[in-house]
Amino acid sequence: MDLYRVNSTMTGTYINGSCTFRHYFDLAGGSAANAASAVLAFWTSLATLMNGTTNITVSGIVEQMDSENGTISNAYSVTPGSASSGSAADALPWATSLLLQWRTGAYYSSGPGKGARELRGRLYLPMMKEADSTLGKPISSLTTPAAAAAAALVSHATSSFGIWRRPVRDSAGTLTRNGEFAPAISGTCWDNWAQMRSRRD
């Protein structure tokens, strides 16, 4: 199966350099421009919830990728876009993130002798505001619109967003486990703060 990969870059006063986010879409679910438009709408909804120093740019290049081996085979030029926060409120510590979660209902084995696990996706959203934290938890006026943005990405009318699991290769570069993709069926927001402790979180 071939996928679209849409890349977004986040910058801001409290970000050292920049951070990259990647969203994956079924190629058969729409055009490259549709996929980029879905991601921009997602970020536009979330930007208003973030500290005012934050800017997210959706790349003008959407890549075509093989879901099984991760190979890029094509690239499409689309109209780039950006979203910025309008609030100058104080930010929470950088490590404090809002956690968006996606489920697919698709189960895959991690290897021989291992049980199947659901393919799920998570996005850690930094640059949250101090005013949106009460008693150590995010307030509902933050989590409710964030959950709506996550769900809207799933239900976008002209694209098919989903979760991709990377392929695994041995030390010689031989593929030992194919990558897998499954369309997302739900998007939600956790009602506690989260911290991304590694790239595998």
- Determine, yes or no, domain membership for 118: yes
Residues 6+ apart with CB under 8 A from 143: 98, 189, 190, 191
Q: What pLDDT was estimated at residue 105? A: 97
Burial class (CB in 10 A: 0-12, 13-18, 19+), 12: buried
What are the tens digits of pLDDT across the range 10-33? Answer: 998 767 778 899 999 999 999 999
- Determine, yes or no, domain membership for 199: no
Burial class (CB in 10 A: 0-12, 13-18, 19+), 10: buried
Could you tell me what percent of the chain has a pLDDT over 70? 97
Residue 79: C-alpha distances to residues 32, 36, 62, 85 (Å): 10, 8, 10, 21
- Determine, yes or no, domain membership for 49: yes
96, amino acid identity: T
201, amino acid identity: D
Mean pLDDT of 172-182: 92
What are the tens digits of pLDDT across the range 122-174? Answer: 999 988 999 999 999 999 999 999 999 999 999 999 999 999 999 999 999 89
- Determine, yes or no, domain membership for 174: yes
What is the SS3 assignment for 141-178? HHHHHHHHHHHHHHHCCCCCEEEEECCEECCCCCEEEC
- Determine, yes or no, domain membership for 200: no
27, 162 contact by CB (below 8 A) = no
Q: What pLDDT was estimated at residue 200? A: 54
- Determine, yes or no, domain membership for 132: yes
Question: How confident is the prediction for the chain on average, in pLDDT?
Answer: 93
What span, in angstroms and rounded, lies between the C-alpha atoms of 146 and 45?
Answer: 8
Total domains in the fold of the chain: 1
Range of the domain at 75: 2-194
What span, in angstroms and rounded, lies between the C-alpha atoms of 159 and 55?
Answer: 24
What are the tens digits of pLDDT across the range 52-78? Answer: 788 999 999 999 999 999 999 999 999
Nearest-CA neighbor of 63 among 2, 20, 21, 19? 2
- Determine, yes or no, domain membership for 116: yes
